[in-house]
Amino acid sequence: MPQSNFHNFQVDNVAMRYSNFAPRLFNFCLSLGMSPDCIMPSRAFCSDENQGYPMILLAKHFGIFPFDHGRVGGIMAPDRHGPHAHHGKDSVIIQASHVGYDPDTQSFGSYRRLQTHNQGMSSDCGAICGVLDWHQQEYSYACQQIFLDNDSGRPVVVIDNQLLMQDREEGLMLHVEKLVENTEVVRTYSTAKSFRASAQLIKDVGIHWPEKKTAIDKHLFPSSFYFRKEQDTQLASGLLTRNLLEIMPYILTSSAPPLSAAKVNAQVEFDRTFRTIVKEESYRGKKVVYISGIHIDISPREGQLFPLTKFVPWAAYIQNENGEGYTLEQEELFAALRKQSTENPYKIDLTEAIHLMEKEPEVMLHVDES
């Protein structure tokens, strides 16, 4: 994924409360000609408990509990297109990666778990943060084991021997040519070698090149390294790694890596999945809306049962009964949703619906076991 795509994903100026997003999405579907009682929504959310609130709101406004189209981390399961298509006249899919937000510290990546012993903060999304952890450890090690130094007035870079090994199966790999002028070794140490610093690195560091050996730290720029990591795509962690690996250097060096990772995952999943919808024969003869974005899980304060979830739209794919479709980019999608009313006369009262079911006569099960 190009770096520019990563930075094109706006958040703060397009985020909307889920209590507004759900009815707007429903009304958007009606504006496309869908019938209010014939829409089968589907969600591809993470399995975390804090994703339940969005599902409740979708059930309230669409009048049916959403079909399950996803895996841990907000990964889409395209092999479920067929069953989803068969469960309703028209089809809506909402894919969302998610990230926690602590309003007290104004930071992304953690969420208060009300059901824990001390209602403590933990990582959110745990699956995405789990993938980030290994890469963060590799990056932190490199930041502390590559040094800027001055050798008789010459700017040099001292690089750990392991980081110079390009045949490793896993780990942080350097674009050595971005760091050194040439491969001629200036000095050899017990665990490292030094080289003359490249003109680009000297320029990037600026006028404050250190006089003595100093860890490269923040001057290990994302263009100077990449990662290799085994990817078992039978596991959600492997799928997340696949989605994030190429742009991981930019994620780790961003101001909020968990937020950046959620954005990238939503972008990759939309790009990957929309083609499977275009090719899916089961969606022929149906109107289809596929919308992708991220959930911001704002940690509940005292007295709140659920997070104040916000939805940040990224893109949507709209397809008619003949299989003809078009894409809405973020700005277009946000504008289309904002045009819709937050009032929904077709919404259901979940509490009343449950009470009505409780009053229904008992249905006895008759099983012939002969």
Whole-number pLDDT of residue 2: 46
Q: Enumerate residues 6+ apart whose C-beta is below 8 A from 361.
A: none
How far apart, in Å, are the Cα atoms of 90 and each of 70, 207, 346?
19, 62, 16
The two structure tokens encoding residue 17: 């409360």
Provide the residue-wise pLDDT of the chain in tens; the chain has 370 residues: 445 466 789 998 999 999 999 999 999 999 999 999 999 999 999 988 888 999 999 999 999 999 999 888 889 999 999 999 999 999 999 999 999 999 889 999 988 887 777 877 788 788 899 999 999 999 999 999 999 999 988 999 999 999 999 999 999 999 999 999 999 999 999 999 999 999 999 998 887 889 899 999 999 999 999 999 988 878 878 899 999 999 999 999 999 999 999 999 999 999 999 999 999 999 999 999 999 999 999 988 877 888 889 999 999 999 999 999 999 999 999 999 999 999 999 999 888 888 888 898 998 898 987 7
Confirm if 331 and 158 have CB atoms less than 8 A apart. no
Q: How far apart are CA 296 and CA 311, in angstroms?
A: 6
Q: Please choose, from the candidates 184, 180, 220, 171, the residue with its C-alpha nearest in 3D space to the C-alpha of residue 200.
A: 180
Dihedral sign for Cα atoms in the order 235, 102, 311, 268 = negative
Q: Please choose, from the candidates 198, 148, 146, 193, the residue with its C-alpha nearest in 3D space to the C-alpha of residue 172.
A: 146
User: What does the CA dihedral 324, 330, 335, 337 come to, rounded to 10 degrees?
Assistant: 70
Confirm if 213 and 158 have CB atoms less than 8 A apart. yes
Whole-number pLDDT of residue 6: 65
Whole-number pLDDT of residue 107: 92
The amino acid sitting at 24 is R
